[in-house]
Amino acid sequence: MNRVAHIDHTVEPGGGEIALRRLLQAGSAWDATLFVPPSRHGLGEYAMLAGGTVRVVGVTQSPGARTASPTALLSTALNVVLQAGALRSSREFRRNRIVHTNSSRAAIIGLLATLGSRRRLVVHLRDAVDEATLGSVGVRAMRTALRRADGVIANSAYTLSSADQWIGVGAQVAIIESSIGHDRSRAPAALRDCVQKVGILARMAPWKGQAQVIRAFAAAFPEPGVRLQVAGSTAFGEEAYARHLMELVEELGVADRVDFLGHVHDIWPLIDDWDVCVHASTRPEPLGQNVLQYLAAARPTIATRAGGPLDRVADGDTGLLVEMGDVRAMTQAMRRLSDETGLRLRLHRNLLVQRPVRSDPELASEYADYFAKIAQSEVRGSSTRTIPFERPLIESHQTNRRPQAEDFVNKVPRRVLLGRIQHGSSLDTAAEG
């Protein structure tokens, strides 16, 4: 059984933390140990993991490095170095052959912790590698980690496209979606005859688009009879945005029809009760777990036409797509799903038949296969790199054009897009790191 050290820089309940916790709870077919820094939240999101799985090592890591001052950035960098040093000094860490990093900052910690060793470094891309997401310093640091990584896991084709030009020769690359707490034994709920509830499930942050959803809801349903439910808590210092949303519903006169639910642990009964689900990010998102959860529950879904959701949402077939930040288009999509019962039923039935989202146990099996492949791979320096797309897409990087998710969807074999790593299923193509 392969020994894998999972590294995270926080225990707060962000998307990556929730996904990793779910994956490890699904029953890993590898010897997993999770290393996290000390936190005032204790084990936080990871408190639910079985005893012995989590180790607290190193120094506390501060949040919000992307927008921090130069002094705070310097402090963050020092803490990253100290965390890496603590891991290198840990006998439990050193016994692991594979190091899987669960966040962008964890990737830098993992890079420093594995330098000069024969441990395999796997960088997990849950966010696009660009300045809008990571900041200029973060992007430069991630480029270094990607060039050194023995393996790279991306949660969508869009995420991979943002990083491919920096992935080193010899790295094993896979696209595997995040664990969402999905169990095949749970049957999706039937639809109601009419729309009574619209919902959005996302962390409270301006770019997640809750404000746009509230404005669209107020315009689409000016009369009583339909409720909007906003599920998700603040994290990483977004309390001011939550207050803004409270003021917005008062301003629009819908405060009595909008429910702010905060963090919801058991999301499936909630999603099953929604007649329309909304993903509203105002910048391209890798592939939000909320989209996967909506589709797994076979709910009629509205999503923005950018980033990772394009891997899974086909306009008019498995959902409706709208342009980012376009409140009018979102309003029209809500009205359309409310007025056209046949459309809602068709989307629901298509999702029941296609079943586009895999269960957590299925994903755990895919991760086990991937880690086994990493353990068996040659030491970095090989002349080829296993990549799940064709040479024209790499050439487009060299002309400063970032491939879009549509490019990958059209060119990548479906088994690769879904992360089904099989021996001989990827294209072995020589490429520059």
Q: Of 194-198, 288-292, 296-300, give the lowest mean pLDDT range.
A: 288-292
Please give the torsion angle defined by the CA atoms of residues 374, 379, 384 and 387, in that order, rounded to the nearest 10 degrees: 20
Indicate if the pLDDT at residue 431 is higher than 80.
no
Residues 87 and 162 in one domain: yes
Indicate if the pLDDT at residue 385 is higher than 80.
no
Name the packing angle between helices 104-114 and 70-89 (round to 10°): 50
In whole angstroms, give the CA distance from residue 170 to residue 148.
Answer: 10
Average pLDDT, the chain: 86
% of residues, the chain, pLDDT over 90? 75
Task: Work out the number of other CB atoms within 10 angstroms of the CB of residue 252.
Answer: 16
**433 or 247, greater pLDDT:** 247
Residues 207 and 340 in one domain: yes
Per-residue confidence (pLDDT) for residue 51, from 0 to 100: 78
C-alpha distance from residue 319 to each of 211, 307, 312, 408 (Å): 21, 15, 9, 19
DSSP assignment letter at 389: S
Per-residue confidence (pLDDT) for residue 14, from 0 to 100: 83
Residues 173 and 216 in one domain: no
Instruction: Look up tokens 């994290």; give the residue.
Output: 235
> How confident is the model over 27-52, as pLDDT tens digits?
778 999 999 999 999 999 999 997 78
Indicate if the pLDDT at residue 155 is higher than 80.
yes
Per-residue confidence (pLDDT) for residue 63, from 0 to 100: 79
On the CB side of 68, CA atoms within 13 Å amount to: 17
Indicate if the pLDDT at residue 387 is higher than 70.
no
Residue 3, token pair as written in the block: 């020994």
Per-residue confidence (pLDDT) for residue 402, from 0 to 100: 37
In whole angstroms, give the CA distance from residue 18 to residue 193.
Answer: 33
Per-residue confidence (pLDDT) for residue 42, from 0 to 100: 94
**Domain contains 341:** yes
Residue at 228: amino acid letter:
L
Residues 33 and 145 in one domain: yes
Backbone CA torsion sign across 86, 178, 324, 334: negative
Residue 418: band (very low, low, confident or very high) from pLDDT cuts 50, 70, 90: very low
On the CB side of 338, CA atoms within 13 Å amount to: 18
258 conformational bin, left if phi > 0, alpha if psi -120 to 50, beta if neither: beta
Residue 394, token pair as written in the block: 């790499």
Indicate if the pLDDT at residue 318 is higher than 50.
yes
Per-residue confidence (pLDDT) for residue 238, from 0 to 100: 84
DSSP assignment letter at 40: T
Indicate if the pLDDT at residue 424 is higher than 90.
no
Most confident of the following: 54-58, 133-137, 234-238, 425-429: 54-58
Q: Of 64-73, 168-177, 315-324, give the lowest mean pLDDT range.
A: 64-73
DSSP assignment letter at 177: P
**Domain contains 189:** no
Query: What CATH code is carried by the domain that includes residue 264?
Result: 3.40.50.2000
How many DSSP H helices and E strands does the chain contain? 16, 15
Per-residue confidence (pLDDT) for residue 380, from 0 to 100: 57
Per-residue confidence (pLDDT) for residue 123, from 0 to 100: 98
In whole angstroms, give the CA distance from residue 231 to residue 432.
Answer: 43
Q: Which residues pair with 387 in a beta bridge?
A: 427
Q: 374 Cβ partners below 8 Å, 6+ apart?
A: 98, 120, 122, 150, 151, 172
Residues 68 and 136 in one domain: yes
**Which domain covers residue 217, as residue numbers?**
197-354
CA 240 to chain centre: 24
Per-residue confidence (pLDDT) for residue 183, from 0 to 100: 86
Per-residue confidence (pLDDT) for residue 145, from 0 to 100: 97
Residue 428: band (very low, low, confident or very high) from pLDDT cuts 50, 70, 90: very low
**399 or 9, greater pLDDT:** 9
Residue 404, token pair as written in the block: 């879009």
Residues 30 and 177 in one domain: yes
**Domain contains 324:** yes
Indicate if the pLDDT at residue 66 is higher than 90.
no
Indicate if the pLDDT at residue 408 is higher than 60.
no
CA 428 to chain centre: 26
Per-residue confidence (pLDDT) for residue 379, from 0 to 100: 55
> How confident is the model over 88-137, as pLDDT tens digits?
999 999 999 999 999 999 999 999 999 999 999 999 999 999 998 888 88
pLDDT average, residue stretch 235-240:
79
Beta-strand relationship, 385-387 and 427-429: antiparallel
Indicate if the pLDDT at residue 411 is higher than 60.
no
Q: Of 38-52, 124-138, 398-412, 416-430, give the lowest mean pLDDT range.
A: 416-430
pLDDT average, residue stretch 332-349:
98
Candidates 180, 177, 188, 128; CA nearest to 414 is: 177
Indicate if the pLDDT at residue 419 is higher than 70.
no
Residues 261 and 318 in one domain: yes
Residues 241 and 139 in one domain: no
Strand order in the sheet with 320-322: 258-262, 227-231, 197-201, 276-278, 301-304, 320-322
Quote the strand ranges of 73-216, DSSP E: 98-101, 120-125, 151-154, 172-175, 197-201
Residue at 68: amino acid letter:
A
In whole angstroms, give the CA distance from residue 88 to residue 110.
Answer: 10
Q: Of the residues 294, 327, 354, which one is the last residue of a structural domain?
A: 354
Instruction: Look up tokens 């009760």; give the residue.
Output: 273
Q: Three-state SS for 409? A: helix
Residues 129 and 222 in one domain: no
Q: Of the residues 354, 380, 405, which one is the last residue of a structural domain?
A: 354
Beta-strand relationship, 172-175 and 3-7: unpaired
Residues 19 and 136 in one domain: yes
Per-residue confidence (pLDDT) for residue 101, from 0 to 100: 98
Quote the strand ranges of 108-213, DSSP E: 120-125, 151-154, 172-175, 197-201
Instruction: Look up tokens 């429910």; give the residue.
Output: 259
Task: Work out the number of other CB atoms within 10 angstroms of the CB of residue 175.
Answer: 27
Residue 196, token pair as written in the block: 């009574």
Backbone CA torsion sign across 133, 137, 143, 149: negative
Q: Of the residues 319, 354, 389, which one is the last residue of a structural domain?
A: 354
Q: What is the number of domains present in the chain?
A: 2
